[in-house]
Amino acid sequence: MVEAVLELKNLSVGYDEPLISNINLEVFPGEVITILGPSGIGKTTLVRTIAGLIRPLSGSFDLNVERRGGLGYIPQRLGLVRHATVAHNVSLGARTRVGFSLNMWKERSQRTMDALRMLGIADKSNEPVRRLSGGQQRRVATARTLAQRPQLMLADEFLGELDHSNVEIVFEAVQNLVDDGTAVIMIEHHDDNAQLFATRIWEIQDGKIADISIKEWKNRKTGGEEE
Amino acid sequence: MKYRLFGIISILLLLAWQTLDGLIEGDWGRLEGGLGNLSVFFSESMWPPNWSVIEARPYPVCESEIEFFCSVGYLGMMETIKIAFVATILGFIGALFFSSLAARNLVPLYVAIPVRILLSAIRSLPSLIWAILFVIVIGFGPLSGVLAMTFYTVGYLGKLQYETFEGMANDSLEASRAMGLPRSSILLNVVIPENSNHLLSQLMFMFEYNVRHGTVIGIVGAGGIGYYISTYLKFLQYEKVFALLILIFVVVVIIDLLSMMVRSFVNDEGDVRRPTWLNVVLSEK
């Protein structure tokens, strides 16, 4: 039986008051979950709690990933080192996975370059991140996670206002991770992007999460026409 | 908003005026004739500067073809620059170590508070006192100067650095923490590169500060140009002191221009236009 990478047990998240309460959900390898809901409802708080950046208000969660490099996180503002080069930023992902050895420099560099090529930014590797466009920076953040190859990837609106071609490039990279068994939890505002990636939707309403399969969600959207 | 700012500045000025009045116990008469005294002192004792300080000393015999390289001004200034350079580099590295343990966003509070207290203790002694201490412990010479400035640099830069670290955007820190990067790696690969502009600026400022303070610590026998200033002051040769002060001013301006050049490499493109070596010296048309 496949073990869940994430298990939420009666979890309540929020700052002073709970924003989302009594979450009981599991996430398995290879799943892509999109969190939907209006602004300020607790999507980011949930993701930050799973990332270990905020303490849960009550309940708990089991994160069955390796301590170093098992979790990938792309915050809303991408979390890039703006004054460092693209290659340096992407190599941070590789650093978490390549331990000390004689070949570590070569391995890190290989992982970094592979990720840069997949995201189509290998020619920008020596550019400081601050000089790139918003879309290119999103590709750098994705490349960092690709070089990391985490077991669980958390992404907070990382597609942002990307144009169609950029979304496709990022989609291909994420698909590559998912094919290797990475589970993805991402916050998304656009229904189209949610459909493109997700296998399940977590819809947040009135402080509760509804866990919906992508098929059911599409049916809802089309009013059952696809059935 | 404009009126509020004006009001705040007026209140602060009034407070400063009141405090000063209290300090001098209302004896404003002491200022009378002060400007005249200064003018007499400057015109009779300091002006014109005595430029013999950039001519070769009579002893030891100058072996260089260029006289300037054997002058009191050059030798003293070079020793001060060397002391300041070594102290700034050592102090900068020491300060990085301590500041990374003092920033509240990098370490828990129970680590940050004792390290901050330590940095405050180091900083509370001015470089002059450090210099006197090291002259007593080690004796006269540049090594005392280097150690005095290194200690002061650690205390001073340490505070600037941890405040810089605490002011950085949190997202890159959070992403690297969630990814599982160790603390040392976060410091070296995230915190330092992200704050490189500020760190370079502080490094250059500290170097300039140490060059300027080389004059002060030299007075207590810790080497550098201050030794010569102290000697000329004793013999009331104020024209020579003034010439040396001009020399220090020129060096400080050069360091400032160098700082502008160095920092332009890590500035946001468009914020500050990168100067060329030519327009560092000559203004652009």
What 3 state SS string does B124-168 have?
A: HCCHHHHHHHHHHHHCCCHHHHHHHHHHHHHHHHHHHHHHHHHCC
Task: Name the token pair of B262.
Answer: 């160095």
Q: Which two tokens stand for residue B170?
A: 């949190």
For residue A47, pLDDT beyond 50 = yes
Among A119, A149, A179, the domain-final residue is A149
Minimum distance, in Å, between the CA of residue B6 and any CA atom of chain A = 37
- Number of independent structural domains in chain B: 1
Domain annotation covers residue B97: yes
Q: Kindly state whether residue A70 falls inside one of the protein's structural domains.
A: no
Report if residue B247 sits inside a domain. Answer: yes
Q: Taking 80 as the threshold, does the pLDDT of residue B215 lie above it?
A: no
Mean pLDDT value across residues A81-98: 92
**Buried b or exposed e, range A181-219, using 16+ CB within 10 angstroms:** ebbbbbbbebeebbebbbbbbbbbeeeebeebebeebbe
> Measured between alpha carbons, how far apart are the two ends of chain A, in Å?
31
Mean pLDDT along residues A21-39:
92
Task: Give residue B279's pLDDT.
Answer: 55
CA distance B52 to B58: 11
B266 and A83 within 8 Å at the Cβ level: the answer is yes
**A4 and A51, same structural domain?**
yes
Backbone CA torsion sign across B116, B121, B122, B125: positive
Task: Please write the tens of the pLDDT for every residue from B137-170.
Answer: 888 888 888 898 999 999 999 999 999 999 998 9
Say if residue A49 is in the same domain as residue A161.
yes
A195 and A218 assigned to the same domain: yes
Query: Is B141 a domain residue?
Result: yes
Q: What mean pLDDT do residues B118-129 have?
A: 90
**Total number of domains constituting chain A:** 2
CA nearest to A141 within chain B: B175
Query: Are A213 and A189 within one domain?
Result: yes
Measured between beta carbons, which residues in chain A are less than 8 angstroms from residue B269?
130-131
In chain A, the residue whose alpha carbon lies closest to the alpha carbon of B191 is A81
- Calculate the alpha carbon distances from A22 to A6, A19, A33 in Å: 15, 10, 18
In the predicted model, is pLDDT for residue A227 greater than 60?
no
> Would you state the pLDDT for residue B211?
85
* Residues A3 and A56 placed together within one structural domain of the fold: yes
Range of the domain at B193: 67-266
- CA atoms of A93 and A119, how far apart (whole Å): 14
Q: Rounded to an integer, what distance in angstroms lies between the CA atom of residue A160 and that of residue A170?
A: 12
Check whether B282 has a pLDDT greater than 60.
Answer: no
The answer to whether the beta carbons of residues B112 and B104 sit under 8 Å apart is yes
Check whether A4 has a pLDDT greater than 80.
Answer: yes
B285 inside domain? no
Which chain B residues are closer than 8 Å to A93 by Cβ?
Answer: 179
- Quick check: is A207 in a domain? yes
Residue B270 banded pLDDT, cuts 50, 70, 90: very low
Instruction: Look at residue B63 in the predicted model and tell me its pLDDT.
Output: 75
Sheet of strand A32-36: strand arrangement: A71-74, A152-156, A183-187, A32-36, A200-205, A208-213
**B1: pLDDT strictly greater than 70:** no
Shared domain check, A23 and A87: no
Q: Is residue A4 part of a domain?
A: yes
Does B19 fall in a domain? no
Query: For B8-21, what is each residue's pLDDT tens digit?
Result: 999 999 999 999 98
Q: Does A44 touch chain B (CB under 8 A)?
A: no
Q: Which positions ≥6 away from B272 have C-beta within 8 Å?
A: B263, B264
pLDDT band of B266, cuts 50, 70, 90: low
pLDDT at A46: 95
Structural domain boundaries, residue A86: 82-149
Structure tokens at B147: 């150690």
Structure tokens given for B209: 């500060």
CATH code for the domain in which residue B182 is found: 1.10.3720.10
The reported pLDDT for the residue numbered B277 is 54
Instruction: Give per-residue pLDDT as tens, B172-191.
Output: 999 999 999 999 999 999 99
Chosen domain end from A122, A149, A176: A149
Residue A197 has pLDDT above 70, yes or no: yes
Work out the mean pLDDT of chain B and round it to a whole number: 85
Confidence of residue B62 (pLDDT cuts 50, 70, 90): confident
What ipTM is given for this predicted complex? 0.88
Smallest Cβ–Cβ distance between A67 and the set B180, B185, B266 belongs to B180
